């Protein structure tokens, strides 16, 4: 199978996943299990865990870039695959937490409030944007389209790193206001 054919084969599934995931998160974010008679204690232990996973994702991304700069393609592949796996685990924990807990309001005032909301909004917008970028970048590597992969990775990497790092920062900023 030709390399561009491989990417074309995955184009529709990637677009579908890239639309379905954010829509599912929005939908699930607004659902509380208790509203359906399911009495589950809030999974309040999850936010520090998924924030840590965001930090691990950032570290894996940086190590992945270092590995490829040292021409260690096998290690790069393992690190980037691990970063994707961490992102999936993060997403599952994030949704589970929000389905069991009430929303937490940021209690900071003044300039810190504006900084928090700037980071939160850019984090959310880019976390949606990054889904197809990561998936197309990954498929290009798997299909051997390394020049095309490299070109897209130069866009994907800094955005994904920003999402991972701001996820940790947003958590640290809101953590004092968790009930």
pLDDT digits (tens, 9 = 90+) for 39-74: 888 899 999 999 999 999 999 999 999 999 999 999
Model's pTM, two decimal places?
A: 0.90
Dihedral of the alpha carbons of 129, 135, 137, 141, in degrees to the nearest 10: 170
Q: Distance (Å, rounded) from C-alpha 103 to C-alpha 68?
A: 40
How far, in Å, are 16, 116, 128, 157 from residue 166 at the CA level? 26, 10, 14, 14
Q: Distance (Å, rounded) from C-alpha 19 to C-alpha 12?
A: 11
Q: Distance (Å, rounded) from C-alpha 153 to C-alpha 133?
A: 8
pLDDT given for residue 179 in this prediction? 67
Taking residues 154-167, what's their average pLDDT?
Answer: 98
* 1: pLDDT strictly greater than 50: no
Confidence of residue 159 (pLDDT cuts 50, 70, 90): very high
pLDDT given for residue 120 in this prediction? 96
Q: Distance (Å, rounded) from C-alpha 151 to C-alpha 137?
A: 9
* 4: pLDDT strictly greater than 80: no
Q: What is the pLDDT of residues 74-110, one digit of tens each?
A: 999 999 999 999 999 999 999 999 888 888 899 999 9
């Amino acid at each position: 199978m030709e390399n561009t054919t491989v990417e074309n084969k995955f184009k529709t599934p990637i677009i579908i996943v890239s639309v379905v995931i954010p829509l599912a998160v929005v939908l699930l974010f607004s659902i509380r299990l208790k509203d359906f008679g399911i009495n589950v204690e809030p999974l309040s232990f999850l936010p520090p865990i998924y924030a840590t996973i965001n930090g691990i994702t950032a570290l894996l991304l940086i190590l992945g870039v270092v590995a490829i700069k040292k021409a260690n393609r096998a290690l790069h592949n393992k690190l980037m695959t691990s970063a994707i796996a961490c992102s999936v685990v993060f997403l599952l924990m994030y949704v589970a937490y929000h389905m069991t807990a009430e929303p937490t309001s940021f209690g900071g005032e003044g300039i810190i409030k504006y900084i928090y909301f700037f980071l939160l909004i850019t984090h959310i917008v880019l976390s949606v944007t990054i889904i197809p970028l990561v998936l197309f970048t990954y498929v290009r590597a798997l299909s051997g389209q390394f020049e095309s992969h490299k070109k897209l990775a130069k866009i994907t990497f800094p955005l994904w790193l920003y999402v991972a790092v701001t996820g940790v920062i947003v958590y640290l900023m809101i953590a004092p206001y968790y009930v």
